[in-house]
Amino acid sequence: MWLIVGLGNPGEEYASTYHNVGFRVLDRLAARQTARVNVHKERCGAAVISDEVQIRGQAAILVRPQTYMNRSGTAMSPVFDRFGAAAQDVIVIYDDVALPLGKIRVRQRGSAGGHNGIKSLISTFGSDEFLRVRVGILPEREIDDLREFVLSQVARDDRELLDQAEEVAVNAVDTLIGEGIDRAMAQYNGIDLRKKEN
């Protein structure tokens, strides 16, 4: 059983912010399943989970923590317990201000890199060895206040590129599950949507 976790902040006021990339990618992933599975939501502690879905013939649960980003691990603890998840069966999707807008990175493990949601998950899980799909959000313009930026509404000039990146992230999850980490890294880590040939 795969656990696919999208990180973000709960509440309508955050829905269109840079920090909620993980939630939006999860929504796109769920939308792809509607022809085969009626994805409904149920609560598991402080997280909302979907029905079991099938991705590339493998069972998966889509999980949206309902705590604020920096407490994502707290929300996930009962989900991990309920499904007996091992680190290698977890895929976490999240925004990354260390990556330029238009790029994504698939990783097998690693530090939090300053991302509070990942830091919280590592603390709860007791391991940094879970799969990640990082979606770049750093625009080319200068940012004065990082916290203010990630919690701001996505700028009109960034929307198209971020939409494309979120779709690529969905494809990356599909490849991760169907073909494995090495194939996913080879296929997606070199993509730069800022370049027209991509």
* Cβ–Cβ < 8 Å for 129, 87: yes
CA-based nearest residue to 44, from 71, 14, 67: 67
* Cβ–Cβ < 8 Å for 68, 9: yes
* Cβ–Cβ < 8 Å for 92, 133: yes
Q: Which residue is associated with the tokens 């007996």?
A: 84
Burial of 166 (0-12, 13-18, 19+ CB in 10 A): buried
19 is catalytic: yes
| Catalytic choice (4, 19, 105, 169) | 19
Active-site residues: which are they? 19
